[in-house]
Amino acid sequence: MKRLAIALFTLLPLATMANDSTMNRLQARAQELIQQMTLEEKCAQLMNSTPGIERLGIRPYDYWNEGLHGVGRSGRATVYPEPIGLGATFDPELVERIGDAVAEEGRAKYCIAQKQGNYNRYSGLTYWSPNVNIFRDPRWGRGMETYGEDPYLTGQLGVAYVHGLQGNDPVYLKTSACAKHFAVHSGPESTRHEADIHPSMRDLYETYLPAFRTLVEGGVESVMMAYNAVNESPCSSNIYLMHLLRKQWGFNGHIVSDCGAVDDIYQGHGVVPTAAEASALAIKAGLNLECGSTFHALGEALEKGLITEQDIDKALLPLLLTRLKLGIIDQDPACPYNNVPEEVICSEAHTQLALRAAKESMVLLKNTNGLLPLRKDTKRIYITGEGATEVYNLMGNYYGLSPRYTCYLQGIINMVSNGTSVDYRPGCMLSTPNSNDINWAIGDSQGSEITIVVLGNNGNCEGEEGEAIASPLRGDRAHLRLPEAQLDYLRKIREGKKEGLILVLTGGSPIDMTELYDLADAIIMTWYAGQEGGLALGQLLFGDDNFSGRLPITFPRDVNALPPFDDYTMQGRTYKYMRDNIFFPFGYGLTYSKVRYLDCAIANVISSGRENVTTVNNHSRANKPIALKAKDLQTITCHVTLRNEGKMAVEETLQAYVRVPGADAPLQQLAAFARCPLAPGEEKTFEIRIPKQQLLTVNAKGESELRKGEYKLTFAAAAPSERSQELGVEHTDLAFTIK
């Protein structure tokens, strides 16, 4: 064993030297290519659609590609749940596996496209994903692209996706991931091209920046700048934000504008009067790549002396390095990702991964008297609602196209006994009132034991500017209520059906539950579940699997009680700052099992690399909180004991929340989370590690600090609040002091 340890120790420096040598070779090659290009050729390489340079062996390449939840906008691909659904999984390991599967399919599709001479948009390996903006307001149409409202959850899932997309080679990239949109971006869509946001330093460093920093420190290859301005400076030319990335966080990849954002510097924001001046501002600030065509004015900017050729060279170097690390300029034989077979595209393994993700993402919000799970030999089931057969309700946005989609009707039919009578009628259109005063669906539902109504939203109702064609707010939502046609239909179904009514909701954002909660006996939020959504719902409804999804965003009681949509102040928003106006809290979700939170304890504290066991008076039942020393504190390891009192196995999504001392601190902040498997009747103690970073709070200057005083640590099935207590959310807590 000692010999092996010595051998490994000897090999590690050699491996590091080999990696450094490879990187130096790629750096030298990038510099060589830049030296051989004309100035005009260099400028042309700074826009997303780059021409080939045949004499240098450089083929045409378009940097614009999408991989938000599967290879997007590029034909056949496995389609996974929309990121808001992936946020509901609280499962970084799953998200990393999905990223790896997306990269595999992307590599295979790229190889085929190259052989066909397809160099068009959406055929490359630079994926502009993930979106790690914070879903601070439920009215934002693009919130579905994010992992929810919490910076820590967002960072953990985002960096997992990046690691999956980029692979584990120390130099070469499987694909290139992108952290977007930097920074302070989350609607409204209608003003995103001219909005100037002035966040407080506390909100900036506590809410809007942490996930980006996590991805940068995790090695993300690119960062996309947002359309909006921050403190009067458009993000694509914002020196403060660029300096933060490069100098403070050590980012060494490439920086790209959002599409058309350099236009906004002089048109939307009116900072300068011309395209040449806008281009010069962006290049001088540190932008490497423009998505758009404003950089056609770089020649004019050079002629006027606004920028120099050295500025162009500096901007171009990281871009060429990205392509060299992908191994796609010189067909580098050392790149381990060159020969991914076509068979991985929509493979059975990826299909099963999509099914697992869909099941983990769905959230059970209500289950009166244990109505669910359903018996497979139920005598009569009636299915209604246009969403039961509408494939578009599975897709979300930035989606690929799968050769197979299982809608919710198919998933239910797949599960029931052949002796069960099942019927279906749409009964209601998504947003248009029925014009016929006779609707057989309402009467038919009354004679069934179980009626399943599938309602909600799709990408016509919410999404990005220009995509959500039924939204009068360019993709955002003025309110969170279902369309009146859907509400009226559900009311009529309820009038004639006193029990057995199950409501399935699709969508990418919170839905007003104030009336819906009383109209249905069981409610399930399926989000945009991807290609396997139907099978997933069927298996969950009939108890082949247990629910485990949790809300990654608070469902408010009244959207009008929230701060104005265009107010970026965090007070009154998200579980961290909402005292009331909560219908369903962040982290909430039911299962078919009753999991009890029995006890919690601090097992040890890692300080200066040494573990000091502190097990005296540290249980939740103890009266006196233990004292910890702030100096060099790194990690607190806790033990939490859970017991599954149900008859089904469950993966309990355990969440740890910390209450930091100080009147200006958040009400609570997520400090850790874990999926905890429990067999029926099993009692088990789980280890939860809370890093020092999650004990910090941000002061008015934007500085992180570890405050002295008493901390409250709560392990719970949802974020602590009065509403959580009303809903009977299980929890156990303890206190400790830092001195």
Active site residues: 258
Tell me which residue of 315, 495, 531, 499 sits closest to 408, measured CA to CA. Answer: 531
Give the span between the Cα atoms of 135 and 87, in whole angstroms.
11
Give the burial class of 543: count Cβ atoms within 10 A of its Cβ; 0-12 exposed, 13-18 middle, 19 or more buried: middle
Angle at 710 between CA 708 and CA 716, to 5 degrees: 125
Give the span between the Cα atoms of 138 and 563, in whole angstroms.
11
| 106: CB partners within 8 A, 6+ apart | 65, 67, 71, 125, 127, 175
- SS3 (DSSP) at 32: helix
Give the span between the Cα atoms of 548 and 649, in whole angstroms.
11
DSSP state of 679: -
Give the span between the Cα atoms of 159 and 174, in whole angstroms.
15
Beta bridge partners of 182: 225
DSSP state of 188: -
Distances (CA, A) of 148 to 83, 89, 512, 575, 619: 8, 11, 17, 11, 32
Which position has the token pair 């408010």?
556
DSSP state of 374: P
Amino acid at 581: N
Distances (CA, A) of 154 to 86, 269, 418, 713: 10, 29, 43, 21
E strand map for 166-311? 178-182, 196-197, 222-225, 229-230, 233-234, 254-257
Task: Report helix, strand and coil shares of the chain as percent, to nearest 5.
Answer: 35, 20, 45
Give the burial class of 76: count Cβ atoms within 10 A of its Cβ; 0-12 exposed, 13-18 middle, 19 or more buried: middle
ω into 183 cis (within 30 of 0): yes
Residue-wise DSSP of 593-634: S-EEEEEEEEEEEEETTEEEE--SS-BTT-SS-EEE--TTEE
Residue 155: what are its φ and ψ, rounded to 5°?
A: -65, -40
Task: Count how many residues are written for the chain.
Answer: 739
Give the span between the Cα atoms of 50 and 126, in whole angstroms.
13
| CB atoms inside a 10 Å sphere around CB 525 | 27
